[in-house]
Structure 1
């Protein structure tokens, strides 16, 4: 029997959330905005952890960056079983993505024995210990067709050891969602796996799309100040001009509802709005490319790479359309994300806007690592859409538990 969700009294506590493989905190932020108390984030990337600590300063646990396997005693985190209501996270996806698989094959590596295939087992170790009411895993949509997917689902549902009677067991739902359907100005498809503890009899339905007309790049970034591109020599030197990550004044008042959502009333300046430098040949190509243009379409005399191999090495965004998927490759270059109207690639803040990070969320890392953090993130608005129905279920669960614990006077 599915437990009915009833209106929740105001004194019910906020659902508690721990984010493992947390990255910069895109999923953390979505769950916080949906009404959760964030207990902490765990990740081995020091830039991610520093950024997470900066943006979630009230967390009860603040682990140093390190492999999740190094946390051998989960009790040391300071939470007892049952004190974490929702466990969320995104185990590394390189071995599940098309790009990652292709790169590993080119390097002659054995994909099936790569240890990153099995880091989801660390997630299950946390489930075994804390027994949260819900969990959420986010990953690339290609995981659905990966050889390990059926095993992963079975392990999440039943535990790694069928003889382990302490594993609570989870009912599993999974679905590929497109971020642009949920107010994110980016056509990004990702797989979400949601588990609900079997003994709770709670329900879960994936949220219906809430955006009829996708948010465009222009609607997302049109109020941000213009940037002058910096020119590097064709052969990069060890040092060169750098963009300044100083506070910059907005170009205008918000020009769209999305820009209003990204900005707080008290904010007068914006951080992380700086971009890469490019050599003069690249800048010339950027200038002549139409919106939506690709490398294969530029004049042959300007091509320095094979357009059979790198047909979309350069891509210029559309002002009137949502962005295509942002990736961590932005840390290498941003040639696939050329600004629609300015002769440069997009800035860190523009990338963050396209991921639906609000402007008060500041990335604390070198510029290249900022791009990596943004590209690897779960869009907060998409995470919030997933979180809202879960929060309602958890609060309803505690409401029932509270009523059952009250003495009867009849």
Structure 2
């Protein structure tokens, strides 16, 4: 680790996405060395929000990075390796969709094996800690999970896992994810996980009530267009922050809101939005308004509660946001509202087309959850470097005397 910043752990983010995990670790006191991802929109967004990274790769398939020394990051220079290999083949939703694809072969799908690339990075860089995140359903796949744990342990690590709910760590969203944490075996530490805050979970209203009201954008059913293209303009907040959560989200951002864009919907969808009560789903609609089978499309439409946390945001928001209808307004949630629900602060700006912004947010680790995971790890590493500096100073003094 660079001597000029001995108390700031260095972090490399593999499968970084937009940078939710990077941001959480940065806020916990780390220096982000760089992020690696194959998605060009994710990489552009990561570069925009972490401009001082030492490593700035273009969008890259990690499988092509065979020569790790060429990245100019030395083994042991990385204090913490973080990341979340793609999870489609581990998730309930992803598996459900792919099983209906007759051409899909689960045994040959390369996404089944991308975790091995993460293992390769752990083995090469030998960080003090690594943190790997994935969907909670991985905990139910005992054979696969055991294989992953064994491969990580074989790199010289003590590894444990826990499933964490983001709503218990200050995020206004009930999102369960598995975290695998490993610590190098030559150290006297054990894998350490954060403890829930114990406070009442923030609600959707706590998260977004200060954001400007948006009018619904109507898309004609006769038109093949995806709707009018919106310009990402700076908008003013509705007023002062109305919750502690909003104060946190607006810190260092001034008085303007970016990425506050919402999708266009046809008039039939907007009529359904008006009909559904908070918490209402497709099955709750009058029969004459139903256009799909209830047994298959039970939650195709779902209106958020104002006074409760959101349910899990997913990358499917790229396709539509019908499962995330605004609790009070006749529209689906905006990009900035989704970012707030995912705990991205307002000064974190997404650089992508609107639909891809939704995808980046849905795939992200909530920064506040990542920060909670990072804090106890950072505390241990800081103590290690502090004690190392003390020992070096004592050695110097003893030689002088």
Matches for 1:76-91 after TM superposition, within 5 Å: 76-91=70-85
Report how far residue 200 of structure 1 moved: 1.3
> Residue in 1 aligned with 2:195?
208
Any idea what the Cα deviations from partners look like across 1:324-351, whole Å, max 9, x if unmatched? Answer: 0000000000000000000000000000
User: Which of the numbers 196, 220, 240 marks the counterpart of 1:233?
Assistant: 220
Gaps of 5+ in 1: 1-9, 160-168
Q: Secondary structure at the match of 2:24?
A: helix
1:152 lines up with 2:139 in the alignment: no
Q: Is the 8 A contact 2:7 2:386 kept in 1?
A: no
> Residue in 1 aligned with 2:300?
313
Report how far residue 400 of structure 1 moved: 3.0
> Residue in 2 aligned with 1:165?
none
Report how far residue 11 of structure 1 moved: 6.9
Larger displacement relative to structure 2 (236-245 or 81-90): 236-245
> Residue in 1 aligned with 2:124?
129
TM-score, normalised via structure 2 length: 0.95
> Residue in 1 aligned with 2:386?
399
Q: Is the 8 A contact 1:203 1:393 kept in 2?
A: no
Query: Aligned partners of 1:404 and 1:113: how far apart in 2?
Result: 52
Moved over 6 A (4+): none
Report how far residue 265 of structure 1 moved: 5.2
> Residue in 2 aligned with 1:19?
13
> Residue in 1 aligned with 2:373?
386
> Once superposed, what is the RMSD of the aligned Cα atoms?
1.4
Relative to structure 1, is the Cα distance of residues 259 and 268 closer, same or farther in structure 2, using a 3 angstrom cutoff?
Answer: same
Larger displacement relative to structure 2 (242-251 or 339-348): 242-251
Query: Aligned partners of 2:389 and 2:252: how far apart in 1?
Result: 39
> Residue in 2 aligned with 1:7?
none
1:35 lines up with 2:61 in the alignment: no
Relative to structure 1, is the Cα distance of residues 235 and 93 closer, same or farther in structure 2, using a 3 angstrom cutoff?
Answer: farther
> Residue in 2 aligned with 1:163?
none
Query: Aligned partners of 1:239 and 1:266: how far apart in 2?
Result: 31
1:107 lines up with 2:96 in the alignment: no
Q: Secondary structure at the match of 2:164?
A: strand
> Residue in 1 aligned with 2:322?
335
Q: Is the 8 A contact 1:230 1:243 kept in 2?
A: no
Q: Is the 8 A contact 1:243 1:277 kept in 2?
A: no
